[in-house]
Amino acid sequence: MTSMTALTSGRYRRGELHEFEAAGQPFMYLVSAGAIFALDEGANAVLRKLGQVDMSHAELAQALRDAGYDRADAEELIRELLFVQGIVSDAVRPAVAPSPATPPADFPLQALVLNVTNQCNLACTYCYEFGADKIATPQGKPKFMTPETAKASVDFLLEKSAGHQAVHITFFGGETLMNFKLLREVVLYARGRAEAQGRTIGFSLTTNATLLTDEIIAFLSEHEIGVTVSMDGPPDLQDKHRVYKSGKGSYAVIEPRLRKLIAQHRTRAITARVTLTDGVTDVIRIYRHLKDDLGFHEVGFAPVTNSGDRDYMIGDGAMDEVLAQFHELAAEWLEHALRGEMHGFSNVSETIGELIQGVNKSHPCGAGLGLLGVSPSGDLSPCHRFTDADTHTLGHIATGIDADKREDFLSRGHVSAKYECQTCWARPLCAGGCHHEAFVRYGDTGHANLHYCDWIREWTDACLRIYGAVSVQNPDFLERFAARKGLS
Amino acid sequence: MKHLRPVNRKAARIDATASLLEEDVVALQQQPPKPHIPMGCTLSFSPGWEVDAGGGTAGLCQPVERDIYDCYVTCFWPVQVPDHVNYSPDWASNCAVATKDWRNLDLVFP
């Protein structure tokens, strides 16, 4: 009996949630779960009332009855909101679900990023691997991955991913295609090994597109290898930073190759990944060029990673301008979705995919969890961005994962270890942001990326509103979108 | 749920949990809706502390003094009384009227 007395004797306040409106309806995004609920008038009224003051059970129930709800309905309303933690009572705390501080030692791998070479034929001025903020220490290490290391990596992935029917290998560099010979060998070897186990293996690669040939394109298409092209836009923007060592821009070299790639590679989506830098912030013009002129299926944008002290970094004012253009493309994304069409702006698509699931991340990404990077020498790292960095090795392909180092990396990167994140409603999706970005900026992979917080919240809110609108006006689209993205 | 409509998968899972819990466990004095209590049954499962739906003893199907014996013969009370079907058929033979003779009920050591 005491518990019931306590239940109604406490005072209610709003739970941890982010409210938003879409298609004229109120919604809430619940931070403890990553769940999205549409609110009816009554639920919205409760949150309005508790937005101003805390209320006792009797006060809240009375207020609802005054607003025309009958007694049973008012009680049900309160009970539902308490259940989902849209409101919380100071007298009764829901049991805290046990959350493992560190993943189990046998957490299965799902993907490997093979850095098949650390060499590159371009010299992009902002490169995180070679530029001023590099953390890689490749001196004295192999420049190209050997077939032995690559095959050992494939075996390692298949062994450590037991339980996963499908696994994935991403090829990365340096410039990946400088070691296409190895890539081809790995694909054939890995396919064979996976088939022998009755499993499937998928592939993708990132490239600067300068070395694409008909033969390579045919191979990529035949083997359904996803391609992401790092490029920054039309000639004037591409050639600003993405240059050869001589300083010559790379646009003229890649343009005909891209057109061939997009025309001839029909088995996987071809994606462009744009790095935004000082002077390269013309998001809409870049998008139009890559999507409409060149024909990329998807285009994603990210501001350049840097220490906060580089002349190519984007200033706060320019970043606001970037966001404004993001919003414009986001509005277009929504129009497409309402017509039942896919739009290629992946900054929205990625977030919508996560919102469909209702992800609630312990870590910002899979680095060190289901994903590891392998350097040309066979060193393991949390992801491709830490390749060849002595300070961040997590073992070696021959000796396996260094459990202590991995645990240190993961416990640092856990969202609950990031003080500033604890009061942020966007943490289920963001979880503090990229480990590598944090290290470059703050010297600690476990530091929250504070320089992006406002933008992340603004962007997450924008994507929530898109999500809400589609869920009201064209809910079938979300189902089809989920199926297309392979969200199970 | 009536007032909250789940619009993503995580919300749908929470909603599914909510409907599982619906009327699964209710507080005894919850108002409303009141839990349905069959007349005569106790709401408490601690021998010696039986109460009826109103929190008293008047509405129980038998006087509290008789519950050990009557549970033994006529009702289900699985642990606290000896097994009169298999092992202790004569356990209550010296206890004709429980309110008077309950001291004759002996302990049984299995």
ipTM of the complex: 0.89
Per-residue pLDDT band for A81 (boundaries 50, 70, 90) equals: very high
Residue B15 distance to chain A (closest CA, Å): 8
Interchain proximity A36–B28, CB inside 8 Å? no
- Mean pLDDT taken over chain A: 93
Active site (annotated) includes residue B67: yes
Which pLDDT score is estimated for B46?
A: 59
Long-range pairs, A238-244, Cβ under 8 A, ≥24: A240/A277, A240/A279, A240/A280, A241/A124, A241/A125, A241/A126, A241/A275, A241/A277, A241/A280, A241/A312, A242/A122, A242/A124, A242/A208, A243/A122, A243/A123, A243/A124, A243/A125, A244/A121, A244/A122, A244/A123
Which pLDDT score is estimated for A4?
A: 43
* Chain B CB contacts of A7 below 8 Å: 27
CA angle A332, A333, A334 (to 5 degrees): 90
Q: Which of B24, B67, B83, B106 is catalytic?
A: B67
Which pLDDT score is estimated for B89?
A: 82
Interchain proximity B4–A81, CB inside 8 Å? yes
Dump pLDDT digits (tens) for A359-404: 999 999 999 999 999 999 999 999 999 999 999 999 999 999 999 9
For chain A, give every residue range classified as CATH 3.20.20.70.
Answer: 111-401
Nearest-CB residue to B2 (from A1, A30, A76)? A76
CB atoms within 10 A of CB A337: 24
Radius of gyration of chain A measured on its C-alpha atoms? 25
CA distance A74 to A289: 55
Instruction: Please answer whether residues A417 and A431 qualify as being in contact, where contact means their C-beta atoms are separated by less than 8 angstroms.
Output: no
CA A260 to chain centre: 29
Instruction: Please answer whether residues A389 and A136 qualify as being in contact, where contact means their C-beta atoms are separated by less than 8 angstroms.
Output: yes
Nearest-CB residue to A84 (from B4, B8, B33)? B4
Which pLDDT score is estimated for B94?
A: 86
Which pLDDT score is estimated for A165?
A: 95
Interchain proximity A7–B27, CB inside 8 Å? yes
Which pLDDT score is estimated for B29?
A: 62
Instruction: Please answer whether residues B91 and B72 qualify as being in contact, where contact means their C-beta atoms are separated by less than 8 angstroms.
Output: yes
Question: Domain A8-89 belongs to what topology?
Answer: Outer Surface Protein A; domain 3 (3.90.930)
Per-residue pLDDT band for A3 (boundaries 50, 70, 90) equals: very low
Residue A113 distance to chain B (closest CA, Å): 29
Amino acid at B50: E
Kind of pairing, strands A200-207 and A166-172? parallel
Interchain proximity B27–A4, CB inside 8 Å? yes
Dump pLDDT digits (tens) for A246-258: 999 999 999 999 9
Q: Is A299 helix (H, G, I), strand (E, B) or coil?
A: strand
- Containing A178, the helix (H) or strand (E) segment is none
CB atoms within 10 A of CB B20: 8
For chain A, give every residue range classified as CATH 3.90.930.
Answer: 8-89
Which pLDDT score is estimated for B49?
A: 62
Interchain proximity B18–A80, CB inside 8 Å? yes
Residue A1 scores a pLDDT above 60: no
* Chain B CB contacts of A43 below 8 Å: 3-4
Dump pLDDT digits (tens) for A256-280: 999 999 999 999 999 999 999 999 9
Cβ partners under 8 Å of residue A370, min gap 6: A107, A108, A109, A110, A111
Residue A311 scores a pLDDT above 60: yes
Mutation for testing the B interface, residue in A17, A19, A25, A36 having most B CBs under 10 Å: A36
DSSP A174: S
Which pLDDT score is estimated for A193?
A: 96
Nearest to A132 by CA among A7, A313, A327: A313
Averaged pLDDT, A219-233? 97
Mutation for testing the A interface, residue in B8, B30, B31 having most A CBs under 10 Å: B8
Dump pLDDT digits (tens) for B10-61: 999 999 988 777 666 666 666 666 666 666 666 666 555 667 777 777 777 7
Nearest-CB residue to B14 (from A35, A356, A357)? A35
CB atoms within 10 A of CB A259: 13
Dump pLDDT digits (tens) for A42-76: 999 999 999 888 999 999 999 999 989 999 999 99
Share of chain A above pLDDT 70, in %: 96
Kind of pairing, strands A35-39 and B4-6? antiparallel
Residue B104 scores a pLDDT above 60: yes
Q: Given CATH 3.40.640.10, say whether it is the number of domain A111-401.
A: no
Which pLDDT score is estimated for A309?
A: 84
Q: Is the dihedral of CA A69, A71, A73, A77 positive or negative?
A: positive
Per-residue pLDDT band for A207 (boundaries 50, 70, 90) equals: very high
